Every structure is written in structure tokens, then in C-alpha cells.
Amino acid sequence: MSDRLTMEELATLMKSAGITVDPSELASRPDSRFDDYGLDSLGLLGIVGELENRRGRALPTDADRCKSPREFVDLVNNSLMTGA
């Protein structure tokens, strides 16, 4: 696992939430909505919790409100880089 969240890791996390998506599809359509993939707010909240467990640190409180893969990955990576 790299220090930065990748679309591939996000796809793996989505799979653990019951949503199977090809990482290359996430990468090619990063601004599509999570809703388009069938991921609801509870699923995203589960992903946030899993990431917090894996990384050993809290994510920003608004992480579960992200609407697209790009928005989520950018927020997570900015948080990891700044330590916020």
C-alpha cells in the first residue's frame, strides 16, 4: 500500500462495500458520481472507516460527503500530505 490513495485501492475498498468496479473505469471517469456506481452514503462511510483503520488516523469529517472518486481521492491524499 502506498502512502497515497489510488483509484485501484479505492476500487478494492468499494468491493469490500459490495460494489465491484474496474479500477481503470474509476481512473477514466473520476468525476462520475458514486451514485452512478451504486455506492450510497453508508457505503462511503464504511470505506472511510476502513481507510481510517488501515492508515491509523482519522480522515476529515467531510470525507463521507464526497460525491465522486476524484473528490474523495483528492481529499484523502491532501489530508495524508498535510497531516490534517
Q: In whole angstroms, what separates CA 53 from the centre of its chain?
A: 13
Grid cell digits, residue 48: 472511510
Domains, the chain, in order of start with CATH, read 7-82 (1.10.1200.10)
The rounded distance, in Å, linking the Cα atoms of 13 and 20 is 9
For 17-45, the pLDDT digits (tens) are 899 999 999 999 999 999 999 999 999 99
For 35-78, the pLDDT digits (tens) are 999 999 999 999 999 999 998 889 999 999 999 999 999 999 99
Question: In terms of Cα–Cα distance, which of 76, 78, 70, 81 is closest to 5?
Answer: 76
